[in-house]
Structure 1
Amino acid sequence: MVVSAHPLASAVGAEILRRGGNAVDAAVAVQFALAVVYPDAGNIGGGGFLILRLKDGTTHALDYREKAPAAAHRDMYLNGQGEVIEDLSYKGHLAAGVPGTVDGMVQVHEKYGRLPWSELVQPAVVLAATGFPLTKKEAKKLNDQRQDFVQYNTQSPEFFFQDHWREGDTLRLTDLARTLERIRDQGRAGFYEGRTADLLSAEMKRGRGIITKADLAAYRSVWRTPVTGQVGPLRVISMPPPSSGGIALIQLLTISEKYPLNAWGWNTVPSSHLMIEAERRVYADRAEHFGDADFYEVPVKGLLDTAYIRSRMRGYSPTKATSSQKVSSGTPPLPEGPHTTHYSIVDAQGNAISVTTTLNSSFGNKVVVGGAGFLLNNEMDDFSIKPGFPNSYGLVGGEANAIAPAKRMLSSMSPTILEKNGQLFMVVGAMGGSTIITTVYQIIQNVTKHGHTMQGAISAGRFHHQWKPNWVLSEWGALGFGTGLGLWLKGHKIAPAIHGIGRAAGILVLPDGRLEGGADPRGDDAAAGF
């Protein structure tokens, strides 16, 4: 089974599985297909994380997160008075980090793939060269972003060939097709060297960006040890720093395990209040302690210490909300003697892969590399561009996530695999910036505490709290009038999540071994299985 953000990408992955490919082969094919049919987040100009669980139970984590260019420095988005220059870290050429996606796909395929590389990239080449019909949502996104495309591009990308896109229109991306052909035929060198590198370097010079050919040549993905935690009968396997997602998710699930959420019920006043208060404390830790573990000593063991996690709920009151001004990060015990889309895949042998990949915001920095046809990320905004200054998602950070050359920026991406009693149980992850962690947390709770199906857990309404700003974001109808009123009476401030919270993709292994996919109705997401 494959669950992704676009039906064409899911179909590509399922076809690879039918042809004898494994979960890794399907993941590579889906990644490149999403770069074509889901250009606002699917990418080759961004990065991501993946968690892999092989059929023998061994687990692996690959970090192909973008890196700051060599010319980056901690004050690069500040003016002479030390104030943040609006949008400089968010839009345009200077917002881009060095892309990691292609190297990540090459590395995971070389180590665990089965089918030839060229066969996995070819479906994306065909989609880009021959074109594909736009969904209603994707047409609207292209139209909505047109002004930014005009403002920030040095050459007119193929998105401009039509003034107003409509559902069913065919989008052909011939420049992107040629870039994908180079990647298909040359592997890593087809992106980080030669013609593609020349085009990207020229784009940087035209737009006064700072990514160089040397930055591209030096980029390498990193294999890391997954973070794991035992929560009741579940073993949680997720991403370590520079993702904050794995540790934060384990913290949230560990806190919740001590309370009777199943008896309280789904999104009732007591269960929602408890989850909001847990999220408030976990995100305070995130702001203080998380960054790239290659540059900053993230206290991973301390943050995962069960006693420490539960101590964070001291001061919790079941009757009233805690002010975020009174909640700070904790002090973990010292260690002994680190716009997005997600896809989940399980193959016939039982290998499972959970992949979250991103350009950061929708269509990244809005810049299409001239002649190469792919969008660049705006991941530099995920650094703490100034201590205490919120990024585009309202998240604040400090020294641990300050900008430095070749450093990876902090992320909320949370690709996750769950085992139950030693067996594969769930593959899940989400898009949604700072809401990714709470989205995955609530989906897991929906299944394990409230008995939802995989689809039901993903479709259910969601809410989110991230310490600062001090309010609860809630999807329409997620809390209901009674719960909303009850939370308000406890002192919570509730704001509507106008565009929804997260988009998730999950696969649940049922007791009889069948797979149930959950595709998010908030988008064009689709599950494809056989």
Structure 2
Amino acid sequence: GFMVIRLTDGTTASLDYRERAPSAASRDMYLDENGDLSEASTVGHLAVGVPGTVAGLWAAHQRFGSMSWAELVAPAMELAEGFEIRERQARSFAQSEARLRLFPSTEAIFLPGGHLPEVGDWFRQLDLAGALGRIAGRGHDGFYRGRTADLIVAEMESGGGLITHQDLVQYEASWRDPIRFTYRDHTVISMPPSSSGGATLAAMAKIIEGYDLASIGWHSPAHIHLLAEAWKRAYADRNSYLADPDFRTMPLERMISQEYGAERRAGISMDHATPSAEVGPGLGPADDGETTHFSVVDKDGNAVSVTTTINSWFGSGVTVTGAGFVLNNEMDDFSARPGYPNQFGLVQGEANAIEPGKRMLSAMTPTIVLDSDGELLLVVGSPGGATIITNVFQQLSNVIDFGMGVRWGVNAPRVHHQHLPDRIQYEVGGLSAQLIEALRVMGHTVELWEDPYIGDVQAIMRLPDGTLAGASDHRRGGTAVGY
């Protein structure tokens, strides 16, 4: 996961608790004898990266916490002891039934008695409650050492996974300097690598800033065209240059500069699309899954934007026997075969190839925006795999360029383009037939997004009178609450 923090005194910080490749991982570990990718990067024990969530939350609490650690863990323990299944949860179980049946420890919990949970059923995860109890009592060491660590390693050994006790003990969350850039006199604070989110968001903004979107008009053909053209250029650079900063030197300062944005913008025609095959990285040779976002502002005005994930729905499909939690399949976010797409269709390069101990690149984009006076304006983020960055950009633009309120901005129809595959994707009902045809005349391929929705933005906006307005996307059934 990733966390961006801005305190009311102006202090900013970002915390990287992304998973890491186990020490026994190797560059070509997912290639078969023919050099083709196997499904081992997405399903099963080999797909699991060293987990980072507990380390990240513990690090944040140690630096900024105001309540006891046990108090913070208690609500999760209560949920693990039982809650009523809602429609959204029942649907996710049904959609993932095949994966849930792959491993007995997972099937026993999520398909009790061999049956799919239904709306209104009482769902219990007692092994998970026990694991959370150990975390509540021992903090960081309640996960990375002791019984829970023993259970993780035993699960890995039983299924041919790579994570060892040494991998767990050596895992550390990393404090990093946030990405900071301006967009139309607003200051944007976002996540640096190993998340690609902040840098790619900045690259998009520096290209788009040269156009008067308000005059062009929201969701006009020209608006969607310019978004797609800017996004494909930003993603081309993202996929070539960005990676774990502990392993690669990246041209970050140049990539998010005003000058480079102007260079990229100069290659955009207002009349026709540039084929993605002609849009390469511009700086020379490089040296919806199961994601959750929450935005928080407290009574003092301290703001936190957090995005976390286990990647696919139900991650690797593997549940730690005796501990009750599903393990991630984050190893698929590496370039398991550079130049070929991962499960989200992202075609990435050598910079993100697998190396022991390396953090895989992410699209997560927790972001905080300040107004022209330096006051808090927006706390925002989204799940959505490769669409996360474009989801967050559209929310920023909806508020800053088009003057939308937070709720209208969050719930407005969204589109997506990620360079490869070369297509604009849209939600059901999101684009009119006339708009689609106009984009096709300009040379764009326009396709319906395969799921009913793109992303799930969660945002808080500070209104001119200082009131906080929260908005939870209608797409996935979240909620906004105040106190």
Please report the TM-score for the alignment, with normalisation by the length of structure 1. Answer: 0.88
CA offset digits 1:446-491 (Å, max 9, x no partner): 1111121111111111000000001111012222222211101101
**Structure 2: distance between partners of 1:272 and 1:153:** 46
**Structure 2: distance between partners of 1:498 and 1:434:** 14
The AA in structure 2 aligned to 1:401 is N
**Structure 2: distance between partners of 1:309 and 1:419:** 21
Q: Is the CA contact 2:286–2:351 (under 8 Å) kept in the aligned structure 1?
A: no
Correspondence for 2:221 among 269, 276, 280: 269
Matches within 5 A, 1:39-58: 48-58=1-11
The answer to whether 1:373 aligns with 2:324 is: yes
- The aligned residue for residue 182 of structure 2 is 230
**Structure 1: distance between partners of 2:274 and 2:286:** 27
SS at match of 1:452: coil
SS at match of 1:484: helix
The answer to whether 1:358 aligns with 2:303 is: no
- The aligned residue for residue 45 of structure 1 is none
The AA in structure 2 aligned to 1:369 is V
**Structure 2: distance between partners of 1:145 and 1:234:** 41
The answer to whether 1:389 aligns with 2:340 is: yes
Correspondence for 1:513 among 466, 469, 473: 466
Correspondence for 1:349 among 300, 303, 306: 300
- The aligned residue for residue 316 of structure 1 is 268
The AA in structure 2 aligned to 1:510 is L
The AA in structure 1 aligned to 2:295 is S
Structure 2: any 5+ residue segments left out of the alignment? none
Matches within 5 A, 1:33-182: 48-85=1-38, 87-129=39-81, 131-153=82-104, 156-162=107-113, 163-182=115-134
Q: CA deviation at 1:156?
A: 4.4
Q: 1:241 to 1:303 in 2, by over 3 A?
A: same
**Structure 1: distance between partners of 2:117 and 2:127:** 19
**Structure 2: distance between partners of 1:362 and 1:374:** 13
Q: Is the CA contact 1:157–1:373 (under 8 Å) kept in the aligned structure 2?
A: no
Q: CA deviation at 1:164?
A: 2.3
SS at match of 1:140: helix
Q: Is the CA contact 1:51–1:415 (under 8 Å) kept in the aligned structure 2?
A: yes
CA offset digits 1:142-184 (Å, max 9, x no partner): 1222221221345643112140221121111100000000000
Q: Is the CA contact 2:100–2:106 (under 8 Å) kept in the aligned structure 1?
A: no
**Structure 2: distance between partners of 1:395 and 1:153:** 31
Q: CA deviation at 1:333?
A: 12
The answer to whether 1:423 aligns with 2:372 is: no
**Structure 1: distance between partners of 2:458 and 2:35:** 41
The AA in structure 2 aligned to 1:52 is I
SS at match of 1:529: coil
Q: CA deviation at 1:316?
A: 1.0
Q: CA deviation at 1:412?
A: 0.3
Q: CA deviation at 1:189?
A: 0.9
Q: Is the CA contact 1:69–1:405 (under 8 Å) kept in the aligned structure 2?
A: yes
**Structure 1: distance between partners of 2:28 and 2:381:** 33
CA offset digits 1:335-370 (Å, max 9, x no partner): 9xxx31100000010000000000011111111111
Greater relative contact order structure (CA < 8 Å, 6+ sep): 1
Q: 1:244 to 1:168 in 2, by over 3 A?
A: same
Q: CA deviation at 1:522?
A: 0.6
CA offset digits 1:486-516 (Å, max 9, x no partner): 1011011111113111111000000000011
Q: Is the CA contact 2:151–2:322 (under 8 Å) kept in the aligned structure 1?
A: yes
SS at match of 2:328: coil
**Structure 2: distance between partners of 1:188 and 1:270:** 51
Q: Is the CA contact 1:308–1:333 (under 8 Å) kept in the aligned structure 2?
A: no
The AA in structure 2 aligned to 1:138 is Q
The AA in structure 2 aligned to 1:104 is G
Q: 1:460 to 1:105 in 2, by over 3 A?
A: same
The answer to whether 1:523 aligns with 2:469 is: no
**Structure 1: distance between partners of 2:119 and 2:130:** 25
Q: CA deviation at 1:278?
A: 0.2
- The aligned residue for residue 300 of structure 1 is 252
Matches within 5 A, 1:359-508: 359-420=310-371, 421-499=373-451, 500-508=453-461
Q: Is the CA contact 1:157–1:370 (under 8 Å) kept in the aligned structure 2?
A: no
**Structure 1: distance between partners of 2:338 and 2:71:** 46
Q: CA deviation at 1:252?
A: 1.2
**Structure 1: distance between partners of 2:398 and 2:284:** 29
CA offset digits 1:90-146 (Å, max 9, x no partner): 0111000000000001100010001111111011111111x1111101011112222
**Structure 2: distance between partners of 1:215 and 1:443:** 38
Q: Is the CA contact 1:299–1:332 (under 8 Å) kept in the aligned structure 2?
A: no
Matches within 5 A, 1:233-244: 233-244=185-196
SS at match of 1:371: coil
The AA in structure 1 aligned to 2:394 is Q
Q: Is the CA contact 1:203–1:370 (under 8 Å) kept in the aligned structure 2?
A: yes
CA offset digits 1:405-434 (Å, max 9, x no partner): 000000000000001121111000000000
Q: CA deviation at 1:334?
A: 11
**Structure 1: distance between partners of 2:285 and 2:327:** 39
CA offset digits 1:193-236 (Å, max 9, x no partner): 11101111111111111111110011000000001001222101
* Structure 1 ranges of 4+ moved more than 6 A: 332-335
Please report the TM-score for the alignment, with normalisation by the length of structure 2. Answer: 0.97
**Structure 1: distance between partners of 2:183 and 2:125:** 46
SS at match of 1:252: helix
Correspondence for 1:204 among 151, 156, 160: 156
The AA in structure 2 aligned to 1:66 is E
CA offset digits 1:230-286 (Å, max 9, x no partner): 122210100001111101111112221211111111111111111110001001101
SS at match of 1:363: coil
Q: 1:192 to 1:233 in 2, by over 3 A?
A: same
